[in-house]
Amino acid sequence: MSPSELFNIVIMQGFAGFSLFSVLLLMGLGLAIIFGQMGVINMAHGEFMTIGAYTIYLASHLSETFAPGLMPYYFPPAILLAFIAAFAVGWLAEWLLIRHLYKRPLDTLLATWGLSLGMQQVFRSTFGPKEVSPTLPDWLLGSWSPMAGLDIPINGLFVMALTLVVCAVVFLAMFRSRWGLRVRATVANRAMANATGIDTRRTDRITYAIGCGIAGMAGAAFTTIGSTGPTSGSLYIVDAFLVVTFGGAASLLGTIASAFSISQVQSIAEFFLTGSMAKVLTLSLILLILMMRPQGLFASKVRR
């Protein structure tokens, strides 16, 4: 194997890691908001991702049957739809369920696990137990080869770009908007935030819904690299929680760093070992590091 071939393999394997990185990061970002900021253990997070993925599938199906001419353009608006769908369901879930449980974080875990079971069954009854995948527009398929022997899939590039945009928007919203200010104030000191006139209940609801919405966009990204089944989301839920915990629960920057390191370690290990052993190795490494340093990579300075 020549050095240039080896270089290409490293780049491509690294890029495969980037696709995983994008999905993990989008999942992690939503969870970092819900779990890191609000302290709600959202076990249904994976199902919100699945909602997003099924929304894309529905959009592709509808445009294929009713407006084939729109096929090249449906994807971007469908991502927005995925966000809205997951946002709406999240809003409803918060109103019906989560808001009664803020004082009992471990119980949110059980309740949202129940929620996720129910949602999985809804998916199964609606879309069938088989995995489905949307018909992707042509411009998402194929690959970009900047030089001979090096193929970078376009859908991976697209997902990367999407992730970057979402990250930027989340950061702007969190640190430059009134909503972000209210969220941070509520997290830092709920009673004081209430006293200064912030409607913390409303803030909670919108925050939870936005976290779910981002999970929906993760689902949209997921459709470009895998097919969607009723239980697809639950495959990512532990990884997503580890991403957030490993990054340091209250730190968005930590979430990015940990999603990056986890996905890269896993994809590099996959090159040398079997898939399952790579996963075992990655998870064990994270667990070991978390045992040494329980607060995660970026510890928050919030006083609790």
Considering only residues 51-70, where is the footprint of other proteins by CB under 8 A? Answer: none
Among 117, 154, 157, 181, binds other proteins (CB under 8 A): 117
Q: Could you say whether residue 145 binds other proteins (CB under 8 A)?
A: no
Q: Could you say whether residue 280 binds other proteins (CB under 8 A)?
A: yes
Q: Could you say whether residue 302 binds other proteins (CB under 8 A)?
A: no
The mark string for 73-112 relative to other proteins (x by CB under 8 A, - otherwise) is ------------------------x--xx--xxxx-xxx-
**What length is written for the chain?**
304
Q: Please choose, from the candidates 28, 55, 20, 3, the residue with its C-alpha nearest in 3D space to the C-alpha of residue 247.
A: 28
Is residue 149 left, alpha or beta, with left meaning phi > 0 and alpha meaning psi from -120 to 50? Answer: left
Residue spans of alpha helices (H) in the chain: 3-31, 45-66, 75-96, 105-127, 154-176, 178-188, 190-195, 200-223, 232-247, 252-272, 275-292
In whole angstroms, how close is the CB of 204 to other proteins at the nearest point?
Answer: 17
Q: Could you say whether residue 287 binds other proteins (CB under 8 A)?
A: yes
DSSP result, 168-210: HHHHHHHHHSHHHHHHHHHHH-HHHHHHTT--HHHHHHHHHHH
Alpha-carbon Rg of the chain, whole angstroms? 20
Considering only residues 187-226, where is the footprint of other proteins by CB under 8 A? Answer: none
The region of 114-122, 166-174, 193-201, 256-264 touching other proteins under the rule CB under 8 A is: 114-122
Q: Could you tell me the end-to-end alpha-carbon distance of the chain, in angstroms, rounded to an integer?
A: 55
Residues that bind other proteins in the complex, under the rule CB under 8 A: 35, 39, 41, 97, 100-101, 104-107, 109-111, 113-115, 117-118, 120-121, 124-125, 238, 241-242, 245, 249, 274, 276-277, 279-280, 283-284, 286-287, 290-291, 294
